[in-house]
Amino acid sequence: VLSFLSQHGLKETAAECERLGATVQAFVVDCSKREEIYSAAEKVKKEIGDVSILVNNAGVITAADLLSTQDHQIERMFEVNILAHIWTTRAFLPTMMNNNRGHIVTVASAAGHFVTSFMVAY
């Protein structure tokens, strides 16, 4: 299962996964919006099943220094780089705990020039 902010990025990533032999379900989700994450997580649970691997791979950066970075850019970085990881973890961790199995990988990288949300396996 893939989640991306943009349809274009989602299609590219899904196509690459399919070329590698994976079956793909894809959702467009703005991971800076908690309710979109929770809604997508519920769809995944209902349509696909329990998640045993969650990869939090969301990231945005602003290349400007702190004083040149606008307030809304700082807020966006916090929403995507921190809060989105918390919301996705909260959405999937309880089921992992109930099933007594699962893994969560959170990626942090300065290479995060684009936004992606989460990938899950079942």
CATH number of the domain bearing residue 86 = 3.40.50.720
In a domain? residue 63: yes
pTM of the full structure: 0.80
User: How many Å apart are CA 20 and CA 16, to the nearest integer?
Assistant: 6
In a domain? residue 122: no
In a domain? residue 41: yes
In a domain? residue 120: no
In a domain? residue 36: yes
Q: Extract long-range pairs of 11-16: CB within 8 Å, 24+ residues apart.
A: 13/116
Query: What is the number of domains present in the chain?
Result: 1
What confidence tens digit (pLDDT) does each residue in 41-100 have?
A: 999 999 999 999 999 888 888 888 888 999 999 999 999 989 999 999 999 999 999 999
In a domain? residue 28: yes
The secondary element (H helix, E strand) that includes residue 27 is strand 26-28
Cβ distance 103 to 54 under 8 Å? Answer: yes
In a domain? residue 61: yes
Q: Checking DSSP bridges between strand 26-28 and strand 116-121, what pairing results, if any?
A: unpaired
pLDDT value of position 112: 47
Closest CA to 49 of 7, 4, 102, 13: 102
Given the residues 15, 94, 101, 122, the one annotated as active site: 122
pLDDT at residue 101 is higher than 90:
yes
User: DSSP readout, 45-62?
Assistant: HHHT---SEEEE------
Range of the domain at 101: 2-112
Does residue 38 carry a catalytic annotation?
no
The strands making up 103-106's β-sheet, listed across from edge to edge, are 26-28, 2-4, 116-121, 53-56, 103-106
In a domain? residue 7: yes
pLDDT value of position 111: 52
